[in-house]
Amino acid sequence: MKKLATVSLFIFGVVVTAILVAGLLIYQNKKDNQKVNSQTGNLVQNTINNITSTGKNITLDMTEISKHNKQTDCWMLINGKVYDITSYFGSHPGGNANMLATCGKDATDAYKTQDPYATSSGSRTAHSSRARNLLDNYYIGDFNQTIISNKKTTSSATNSTNVSKTDTQVAEGATTIPNNQPITTSGSITLSTAEIAKHNKQTDCWYLISGKVYNITSFFGSHPGGNSIMVSSCGKDATAAYNTKDPNATSSGSRSAHSSNAVALLNNYYIGDLNQTIGQQKVTETNTVVAPVTRGDDDGEYDD
Amino acid sequence: MLLVISILTLIPIVIWASIEPLSLRFLDVNTATTSIGQILGLAGMTLFSINLILAGRFKFLDKYFKGLDKVYVHHSKIGSLSFSLILFHPIFLVVKYLSISIREAGLFFVPFLNMPITWGIISLILMIGLLSVTLYINLKYHVWKLSHKFMILAFFFAILHVLNISSDVSRSNLLNYYILTLAFIGLAVSFHQAFLNKFLSKKFKYKIANIKELNENVAEIEMEPVKEGINFENGQFAFFSFQSEGVSSESHPFTISSSSKDNNLKITVKNLGDFTGLLKNLKLGDKVIIDGPYGNFSYNKVESKDQIWIAGGIGITPFLSMVKNLGSEYNVDLYYSVKENKEAVYLQNLKEISEKTPNFKFNLWEAKDKGYINGNAISDRSNGLDSKDIFLCGPPSFMESLKNQFLSLGVDLNKIHYENFSFFD
């Protein structure tokens, strides 16, 4: 029995040390890279889900969501967003059953309280920011949004392990991103602050920076500083955030400005000036400039 | 008793299995490894709880395991098993994080990111530290014993981990109550054992009446009861806690070498560990608190009246007690194995008893002249071993070797009785 304990201790030591060293030390250097990649993969995944012309349109309403109510096919509505978390089963620290309970349902409260029955909200704690980042990987679309579905939507594994495979498809896939844009109005629009404010999410994100309006939606996943830092300024005047790399711009000056390379990149996303009236065409055109962006992402990496 | 422990360990796994269909539990690599990890955690936790109960010096355990020394042998085995299961618990759980990224897997082992997991990590670190001390470092008995008490702290963090982690345990009330009930019994027992035992359980007070040096390494300590004396059977042992200056009051097990008919109690102590070295600090009149008796090592508890007793060195003590009360219907051959003559304490007493008692044959075996004592030699001298009960007491390697020799000579395992002192010195 002492032998058993010794062998176990040895295996434990080797595995834990290996994972800790690999995970924390070696990956420390690649951390940003990893982040970018995983979210690029993500973006690609979203794109793939939307790319297929053979797929049919589905509306992410409650009827549709409720169809995906089992462990092998599980969708959840959380804070107005629909997630396909099927491939996350088995990875949830809180176990499968907790998640299964809200498959095909509005899981907002359950997610917030980590209690599937949300009986006593507040008594249980919210998910960590790490968990929230993970959740983004499983995003399909917004509530009541119509997306083009293919079979993959229900079962694809949407995580960073796919990155290497999908990386090469970025350029190809990204050009079709306009499919993802919920811009349906035709004709001309005025780039007022009210208009800008509408584009306030990751899947549709405009910035006002120094009096210029940028549609940076397709840049998500390519930002060396990660997505979450960008998303908070969507639909807003991001001048201060952009200049300080601090979305809350609480202490301007303490953070450094973007590199000249980054400034050059930004021009690719320029739509027009504040309060300028532009044709709808212009808005979508900018989105096709994704391919250079993806290449440029390496440059941004070194600059940062 | 081992069956009971196995069943107690299987119950939570059965409850666990009934919560969710097994097909979902083992859907793919991630769910399967997670499930195995959970089983390991549940079983490890159950065994940990049981082990704390086993360490509780209960009379009923002494009875069912046929001696408290055997309980400690099982305590040690179950502890190793439980420890191993618990070590593999996070190893299996990390697999699903590895499928996300190696970084996520690394973060899984980092404390203070997630409190429930942190409790588990703290508990595990404590366990690894304390059990490494137990398994690989030969500490002074009372230092080790003190260090081992901190296992309760490791257990406490393990309970926090179980209580706070959201998993099947927290979802199923039945599993929840089962694990926690067992855990709290374990915690209560160990807490009582470690801290409150001194005050609560029935103890006998003695004071040191005489200290006699038998040779340079061995001393006999005679104690007289302050009030009520302990009631024991010859061959049993008890835990002695010396309330003397310069001596650890941590209780130590010693076999009682006096006869149960004597009013005074005697133990024979060899200068083995550091604790026994401190015995020279004992003074006449010092208080001794005795917890006992325990043990099932007794000639009158076996079926055969024809018996062979084999003592290695200081292992003579239980036989010394037994021979003084030997009934005339018994027929006993005692082999006393020592390196050389001068090491053999009580040699004169034993020879005298043997002369007066025709049914007691005493054989001194000096390894210096005859080599190690062995099963064949004993069999020859005692005219065969058929249906005889054999009693062994001595160093662990001595007993193990003789036990195996007797087994290969065709002796039934039930006929071989031994007291496991390895735990005690």
pLDDT tens track for A55-113: 567 888 888 888 888 888 888 888 888 888 887 876 777 777 778 888 888 888 888 77
The DSSP line for B209-273 is EEEEE-SSSEEEEEEEESSSPP---TT-EEEEEEE-TTS--S-EEEEB-S-TTSSSEEEEEES-S
How far apart CA B133 and CA B152 sit, in angstroms, is 15
Output the six-digit token pair for B225: 């009861």
Percent of chain A clearing pLDDT 70 (strictly above): 56
Look at B83 and A5 and tell me if their CB atoms are within 8 Å. Answer: yes
Look at B24 and A71 and tell me if their CB atoms are within 8 Å. Answer: yes
Nearest by Cα to B211 from B281, B263, B272, B315:
B281
Q: Which among B33, B103, B113 has the least Cβ separation from residue A23?
A: B103
User: How would residue A291 be classed by pLDDT, with cut points 50, 70 and 90?
Assistant: very low
How far apart CA A69 and CA A71 sit, in angstroms, is 7
User: How would residue A162 be classed by pLDDT, with cut points 50, 70 and 90?
Assistant: very low
Under an 8 Å CB criterion, which residues of A touch B?
1-2, 4-9, 11-12, 15-16, 19-20, 22-24, 27, 31, 34, 38, 71-72, 89-91, 93-98, 100, 114, 128, 130, 134, 159-161
B residues 231-270 lying closer than 8 A (beta carbon) to A: none
Mean pLDDT of A4-12: 90
Mean pLDDT of A258-267: 74
Tell me, what's the pLDDT at A124?
58
User: Is 0.95 surpassed by the pTM of this model?
Assistant: no
Tell me, what's the pLDDT at B421?
62
CA distances (Å), origin B323, targets B139, B292, B300, B362: 35, 21, 11, 11
Q: Which among B38, B135, B167 has the least Cβ separation from residue A2?
A: B135
Number of Cβ within 10 Å of residue B158's Cβ equals 26
Burial class of residue A156, CB neighbours in 10 A (0-12, 13-18, 19+): middle
Nearest by Cα to B67 from B355, B404, B294, B345:
B294
Asked if residue A293 has pLDDT above 90, the reply is: no
Look at A11 and B31 and tell me if their CB atoms are within 8 Å. Answer: no
Asked if residue A294 has pLDDT above 50, the reply is: no
How far apart CA B412 and CA B405 sit, in angstroms, is 11
Tell me, what's the pLDDT at A252?
43
HSE, CB side, 13 Å, CA atoms: give it for residue A128.
Answer: 12
Helix (H, G, I), strand (E, B) or coil at A69: strand
Asked if residue A204 has pLDDT above 60, the reply is: yes
**Complex prediction ipTM:** 0.76
B residues 96-155 lying closer than 8 A (beta carbon) to A: 96-110, 113-114, 117, 128, 131-132, 135
Q: Are strands B416-418 and B389-393 parallel, antiparallel or unpaired?
A: parallel
Q: Bridge-partner residues for A278, per DSSP?
A: A189
Output the six-digit token pair for B41: 């955690």
The DSSP line for B52-73 is HHHTT--HHHHHHTTSHHHHHH
Mean pLDDT of A156-175: 36
Output the six-digit token pair for B345: 């304490």
Residue of B103, B109, B136 to mutate, testing the A interface (most A Cβ within 10 Å of its Cβ): B103
Residues of chain B with pLDDT under 70: 166-171, 197-202, 272-279, 421-425
Higher pLDDT, A259 or A267: A267
Q: Which residue has the tokens 């400690």?
A: B72
- Min Cα distance B87 → chain A (Å) is 6
Task: Report CA Rg, chain B.
Answer: 25
